Amino acid sequence: MSKGIDKALEDTFVKIYMLTKLTKAEEKNFLAAITAPDVEPLEWVKPELVRWGSDADGTVHDDLLPLYKKRAAEEGKDARPFCFFADRQSVEEGGTIVAGRDWYTLCHSEEARRLMLERADEHGVELPGRDRRVLNGLERGLEGELVKRGVVWGREPGPAWMLDWANLDVVNMTLSEIVEFHGGEVQVLIEPEWDVEMFVKRLREEVEKMKGKGNQEK
């Protein structure tokens, strides 16, 4: 590899948004924990801590989603659908949090199917069936709405975020696959501003399309 390529790779910094304020000693120890040699080290991937401004700790459930959305708004079209955070637990354990609009979890998981069935029942939408074939078809048609309903997050140990960033960047793995690979639990922070009415409207449209297609095939 040429020196020019080495230099370009060394300039890749990945932001880690802090949800807790660190002392200088804590920051030094935390950086050491998340940059320790890994099985497959990526020396050119460097952490850039985005400091937490409040003396009071933030929490995943109260602060991660607003911060995720703020970052996405600021970065605009250049914003990746995933990013990294660290709360007080992350600092104590020497790990990070990965969060993003995980397509599989939000659109095609069992939890996503339960949500679709619940909304259909609540709003009187008569589905043409409840088997996997029907639900898969509806999910594909509703991906654009389902992916907006929240942000998926999970914890990862030590310097794992470096390789995880690389895998997510080239869509080599999904966020849920990464979290589960590390033995973690995938969780969803529900978007309070998610437009349920629009989702139900789109659900009705997809159901009608599916019924119309079924009638044509008879």
Q: Say which residue the tokens 């978007």 belong to.
A: 191
- List of E strands, 110-191: 150-157, 187-190
Residue 148, Cβ neighbours under 10 Å: how many?
A: 15
CA atoms within 13 A on the CB side of 107: 18
CB-CB contact of 168 with 82 (8 Å): yes
What's the CA gap between 137 and 120, in Å, rounded? 15
Q: How many CB atoms lie within 10 A of CB 138?
A: 23
pLDDT given at position 217: 55
Please give the chain's pLDDT, 218 residues, in tens. Answer: 444 444 555 668 999 999 999 999 999 999 999 997 754 567 888 999 999 999 999 999 999 999 999 999 999 888 899 999 999 999 999 999 999 999 999 999 999 999 999 999 999 999 999 999 999 999 999 999 999 999 999 999 999 999 999 999 998 999 999 999 999 999 999 999 999 999 999 999 999 999 887 554 54
Backbone angles phi, psi at 78, to 5 degrees: -85, -5
pLDDT of residue 2: 44
Does the pTM surpass 0.85? The reply is: yes
Fold classification of 1-101+151-185 (topology level): Rossmann fold (3.40.50)
Residue ranges of the chain assigned to CATH 3.40.50: 1-101+151-185
